[in-house]
Structure 1
């Protein structure tokens, strides 16, 4: 076998994480927070960081702006594992406000993600090194041209021998006719759908996770795996007549930014190496639990 087992396509941006706060301050006031951290982020970026932290080979194809933030962002990743596209303009920045208990809210500037191009990703696609190799597309809804071209990306990846995974994130415009139509196309093509509970409910229109999972599992192909990340409860997965669950260990949460992305990286790693559905879920949940309970972050499992 040659080449990395996992190919990542998607968003990288600068994350500025601040916290903790207990409720929102009144307009015009100022409060102090105990800590801040400037770190590389983005859904695909967080997956790349987790794979580096676990010492696993991968290829990450992504873009940044050509400003100082872009240079800093590129320097935070393993250069041997990345293929960067440098666009003119500012690099996207996300400010994450962490609330007590670990929940968070994000504020994101448009930046380079608004100009990311599907064709640049298509031009960079290698052939899969073997039949279990997986290509994951993450954070597509923050990149309009990539979101429009994700169906094409999934088809081309399959033609090059890759198993495919999709984690779209939450669309800034909400779940409307356009985003639901895109998601329906992607679900019809991807081998793995990696969704959190809120995304699952938004896609199906159900207000209960169990009901939403059942609805989407019924629409899945027999060869497709639906993974639902349920935060502190852990994760569950559906594949044909299989249903697996993994409970999250109890940890002291520092912040949950990137928890689902870390889970994705670990779950896909376990699947590539031949683990079953139960084992892959457990590895994903345990790795994410370590990440959200350590500072600086660690990715070795508990």
Structure 2
């Protein structure tokens, strides 16, 4: 594949989803839940699944372990949309615990994600119109190489979209400073409300939007995902808001990652920002309210 519309780099792993759990068990005790799913997960993995369903011309490049979860995960994504690099580490697994209020808690073993190195990935990357860098804080080696990664895609003329997730230990001053070094290279900052407020050190979403928008690439767009309230965005000083429809949430794990995929798909197929925001909200809302998940038909 010589060129693709979207390249996805980041945390592709297995998700074990259990719940709902109303309270954590005490040490030495056991609790039973009535729901369980085993599926492709991670910020990058969820986006790759959505892109495959939407028909985005994309390629996901990742390491993977030589074990049962690794062999299984390789069968779940289209062969022509993935390139797997062998890892001596076990395949990463995240346990996602859902709670009755719709919130989730995650416990992750990094495994093969520890071996995601830029020097190994770079020879296998095609030219791309856009790249999604997903789950930076769960890919420590690649995260350390982000300055070089970002310069590479800047030189290539590719638009850079970033959704880094929540750092283990929170947005300390050191993490905030690290991320601020990335932002001038970023064309699409796609984060949730809590991440935006902690990164920007602003108490309100509106102030976070303005603060982060001023730190991006001159043509950059910041999007803050606000759950059931939809999304807000800023592009070239103009702010946008897109509400979300009221749906019965069956499975919210990966909702933001699905949103990312749909938003980038919409932009790459020629939609303007307002239309892209609305399209992505519709796709994500449909995904979280259907089981098994339903995506709009390919365009």
The TM-score bracket by the shorter chain reads: over 0.9
1:210 to 206, 210, 216: 206
Q: Which secondary structure does the structure 1 equivalent of 2:199 belong to? A: helix
Q: Is 2:292 aligned against 1:293?
A: no
> 1:9-45, CA deviations, whole angstroms, 9 ceiling, x for partnerless residues?
1111110001112233333332221210000111011
Runs (5+) with no aligned partner, structure 1:
none
Secondary structure of the corresponding residue to residue 17 of structure 2: strand
> Which range is displaced more, 207-216 or 267-276?
207-216
Partner secondary structure for residue 153 of structure 1 = helix
Given that 1:263 and 1:288 are in contact with CA atoms closer than 8 Å, whether structure 2 keeps it comes out as yes
Native 8 Å contact 1:222 1:239 kept in 2: no
The answer (yes or no) to whether the contact 2:180–2:215 under 8 Å persists in 1 is no
In structure 1, the partner of 2:277 is 281
Task: Name the SS of the counterpart of 1:21 in structure 2.
Answer: coil
Moved more, 25-34 or 87-96: 25-34
Normalized against structure 1, the TM-score is what? Answer: 0.94
Aligned to 1:10: 10
Instruction: Show the 5 A alignment for 1:196-235.
Output: 196-235=192-231
Per the TM alignment, residue 86 of structure 1 is displaced from its structure 2 partner at its CA by: 1.2
Offset, 1:209:
1.6
Q: What is the SS of the residue equivalent to 1:5?
A: strand
C-alpha separation between the residues in 1 aligned to 2:150 and 2:278? 27
Query: How far apart are residue 294 of structure 1 and its match?
Result: 1.0
Q: CA RMSD of the aligned region, Å?
A: 1.7
1:49 aligns with 2:26: no
* Distance (whole Å) between structure 2 residues aligned to residue 90 and residue 249 of structure 1: 40
In structure 2, distance between residues paired with 1:19 and 1:9: 29
Shift of 1:221: 4.0
CA–CA distance in structure 2, aligned partners of residues 34 and 297 of structure 1: 19
Paired with 1:220 and 1:188, the residues of 2 have a C-alpha distance of: 5
Aligned counterpart, 2:24: 24
TM-score scaled by length of structure 2: 0.94
In the TM superposition, what whole-angstrom CA distance separates every residue of 1:150-202 from its partner, at most 9, and x where no partner exists? 12112111222311111111111321243222211211111111111111111
